[in-house]
Chain A
């Protein structure tokens, strides 16, 4: 009953999902930052003429929706910030297999071992710190130290940000459930809780908190927004491939239930193409392109120089043990 009104409204606002081009649109469930996705979608539409309707939300919330929708999902493709939700959907047989021509575009360890999703971009967990609150030489060498009483009242975390769950998953994978629980309980006693990584890095920058656990790119975006003069914080990468410097993989998939599988696959193939990876590198998103040979944003140090912790996507798993531990500890 609303359809005509909505179509009229869409026409008026000039944002109809390309219904005039004659090509059926594909629907993308997008857990990546909307601005980056918008740039990528625009380039894809210009190149192929296939319109893309985008539904943006938190990656895990969208995975929830896909799980609930099952075979009736309106989504054709899914792009998200972390591998665990892709692993989960893959275990539920909700993702289609991608051809070798797509999988071969990025190193194998960045993608699904069963070819159900492909890695698109990388980030590294790091500690933002405020030099006026804590000296660089006093910063922790290990992530687990942040759970010790010495850090009481000095740490900021965002336990409900979907970037935090994979970090907990990584600690469980490397040190086991018991150590991870002790660490989280310590962290709960020590830390101020923020709703997301963006507010964590902003609080550290103001000096409200001494250190904050974030993905490295939030700090670069803050610096871009505030300018170098107003940036009072720095980044600390955990040394020696400590688990605190875990590499996070953003990936994309085609849904098994898609009625536009060929078009959706073209979109996913586009995401790992040189053209898209250069858009990603040139954007203000500050992620590392997964495709070899594409240099990241010049503001970023080379990924290899950060010596990130590397955990296979299979060992990092599907977030469920980490989510359950967070709930038991009472952080969510």
Chain B
């Protein structure tokens, strides 16, 4: 009797466990994908070992590296803080207050994301040479990176349930206390996620810092490359950078709040009531206006000005604009397609089979984001020139670099949609008589589509404005918009020659940025919040 009862109870449990065990194919694919995205890091270590630690260590262990470390840390700290304040403030103004022209501001505050760091820095420093060094870097990088906080925070504020603040007030909290302890606290994981993106992205930039004459690890790596005849030693400098980024990641994980907010009742939530600004209206408008002017208006006007006024008579175009634009679009689109395809299995594994190891697998890919583009490129050059000579200087290698570098962005954008495409909906489809393939096509795919599109847009946007890896990996005879802009911008006074390449680059990335803005606007943000908090 007793035995039967035990087996009876165990049978469904075993079935349940079986269903929740990740399919080996998905797990293996995800493992391979993560190994691929982390391979540049492994190659850097392998290269350094081959060059000999005796050669590498003296380069790392010197006062100059301490300067670089100090430069990176003080910049990351201050820029992240400013981005947190500006991003959160801007999101709150556009989502929760009756700011006049709120919807237009919401777009205008997001658009600066399409300006690459080196274009923004170049426009500022070409007009105001005083914008340089630490303060110049704080200004330019804050203007460049605050959208990374603004975008997720806007989503978080919009998705927050007004009922919860009301409940808090009914329990005796003041309006401000309720805002701080409910809305802000709920948005905290989102804010930390945005800050994480800001500090990791910042550490990897090169072109902007070169324009602003601020020494960081990436400018030092390029300096080594241009003087030292020892690429392995140059890229070993990035090991310090990776160590710093790993600390940032651990720091963020430690700060992450364990608790989750829950809504009871499945019904639709009521729309937010917008806070009237009253006397604060003027300052609020001025603040938003100043940010948009400095981050978008000024650089775009400068590009336009140099295009009209800055003739560089002595400089015929080395590469036609159309060709550079075409190659930029082609490589970025392929990179985006590959990165999105790679992100899908990892996102499926992490959301449908959230085990300790699968989540760790997913999070480990963020380490890849900390490896600067130049180092990814050097690793791939090393790999191809030694072991895969057929791929050396090939477009495939550049596309692979984009995929490895921007995979984490694709993953972040894809995850909310994967979370929505739950297994239960698939089961409903099956119960209604659809075959497995029909379920995939008619249920899963439509649910995933917006996420796939968002991931593609995110990666495309980043790849089209990528500079450092492209400089080293671009196939012989080809220039992209970014490399050609840089070639002219480096030639000191050739503002007029550089400007059209910058302008087309901005226009090209404006398309996916617009699509992304639309995507967030259509309420995907709610899902994004869940994804960000989870």
Residues of A whose CB lies within 8 Å of any CB of B are 1-2, 5-6, 9-10, 12-15, 17, 27, 33-35, 38-39, 53-58, 60-61, 63-65, 67-69, 72, 74, 88, 159-162, 164-165, 192-196, 198-199, 201-203, 206, 208, 218, 221-222, 224-226, 284, 319-320, 323, 326-328, 330, 332
Of the stretches B256-264, B316-324, B455-463, B504-512, the one at the interface is: B316-324
Partner of B477, one of A17, A61, A69: A17
Known contacts A208-B129, A225-B493: A2-B210 contact under CB 8 Å: no
Contacts of B223 in A (CB 8 A): 159-160, 332
Known contacts A38-B316, A38-B318, A160-B226: A72-B385 contact under CB 8 Å: yes
In contact, B219 and A224 (Cβ under 8 angstroms): no
Shortest Cβ distance from B498 into chain A, in angstroms?
Answer: 12
C-alpha gap A299/B358 in the complex (Å): 68
Contacts of A194 in B (CB 8 A): 213
Interface of chain A: mostly helix, strand, loop or mixed: helix
Partner of B492, one of A67, A69, A218: A218
What are 25 inter-chain pairs, A to B, with CB distance below 8 A? Answer: A1-B396, A15-B319, A15-B477, A56-B318, A56-B487, A57-B471, A60-B227, A60-B228, A61-B225, A65-B385, A68-B385, A69-B392, A159-B223, A193-B215, A195-B490, A196-B492, A202-B493, A221-B492, A222-B492, A222-B493, A224-B313, A225-B314, A284-B314, A323-B227, A330-B67
C-alpha gap A221/B67 in the complex (Å): 34
C-alpha gap A34/B492 in the complex (Å): 14
Known contacts A60-B226, A199-B492: A68-B231 contact under CB 8 Å: yes
C-alpha gap A57/B477 in the complex (Å): 12
Contacts of A208 in B (CB 8 A): 129
Partner of B323, one of A14, A54, A159, A164: A14
In contact, B319 and A226 (Cβ under 8 angstroms): no
Chain B 387-411 near chain A by CB (<8 Å), digits 1 or 0: 0010011111001000000000000
Contacts of B381 in A (CB 8 A): 65, 68
In contact, B227 and A35 (Cβ under 8 angstroms): no
Known contacts A27-B476, A54-B477: A9-B330 contact under CB 8 Å: yes
In contact, A195 and B219 (Cβ under 8 angstroms): yes
In contact, A13 and B493 (Cβ under 8 angstroms): no
Contacts of B211 in A (CB 8 A): 195
C-alpha gap A162/B392 in the complex (Å): 25
C-alpha gap A103/B92 in the complex (Å): 71
Shortest Cβ distance from A205 into chain B, in angstroms?
Answer: 9
Q: Across the interface, name the chain A residue whose C-beta is closest to B491.
A: A198
In contact, A198 and B492 (Cβ under 8 angstroms): yes
Known contacts A201-B492, A221-B493: A55-B227 contact under CB 8 Å: no
Partner of A330, one of B63, B225, B312, B389: B63
Shortest Cβ distance from A286 into chain B, in angstroms?
Answer: 10
Interface of chain B: mostly helix, strand, loop or mixed: helix
C-alpha gap A83/B278 in the complex (Å): 70
In contact, B316 and A35 (Cβ under 8 angstroms): yes
Partner of A15, one of B231, B320, B487, B490: B320
Within 8 A of A (CB), among B286-329: 312-316, 318-320, 322-323, 326-327
Tell me whether B334 is interfacial, beta carbon within 8 Å: yes
Chain B 34-56 near chain A by CB (<8 Å), digits 1 or 0: 00000000000000000000000
Shortest Cβ distance from A268 into chain B, in angstroms?
Answer: 18
The 6 closest A-B pairs by CB, nearest first: A198-B492, A13-B323, A160-B223, A284-B314, A330-B64, A225-B493
Chain B 114-151 near chain A by CB (<8 Å), digits 1 or 0: 00000000000000010000000000000000000000
Tell me whether B229 is interfacial, beta carbon within 8 Å: yes
Measured as residues with beta carbon below 8 angstroms from the partner, the interface class of chain B is 35 or more
Tell me whether B520 is interfacial, beta carbon within 8 Å: no
Known contacts A54-B477, A222-B492: A64-B315 contact under CB 8 Å: no
In contact, B322 and A13 (Cβ under 8 angstroms): yes
Tell me whether B59 is interfacial, beta carbon within 8 Å: yes
Q: Across the interface, name the chain A residue whose C-beta is closest to B399.
A: A2
Shortest Cβ distance from B319 into chain A, in angstroms?
Answer: 7
Known contacts A55-B477, A330-B63: A226-B316 contact under CB 8 Å: no
In contact, A2 and B385 (Cβ under 8 angstroms): no
Known contacts A69-B385, A284-B314: A319-B219 contact under CB 8 Å: no
In contact, A162 and B226 (Cβ under 8 angstroms): yes
Tell me whether B465 is interfacial, beta carbon within 8 Å: no
Contacts of A54 in B (CB 8 A): 476-477
Contacts of B319 in A (CB 8 A): 15
Contacts of A327 in B (CB 8 A): 59, 224, 227-228
In contact, B323 and A2 (Cβ under 8 angstroms): no
Contacts of B322 in A (CB 8 A): 13
In contact, B229 and A88 (Cβ under 8 angstroms): yes
Q: Across the interface, name the chain A residue whose C-beta is closest to B475.
A: A6
Q: Across the interface, name the chain A residue whose C-beta is closest to B223.
A: A160
Within 8 A of A (CB), among B193-217: 210-211, 213, 215
C-alpha gap A164/B226 in the complex (Å): 10
C-alpha gap A10/B316 in the complex (Å): 20
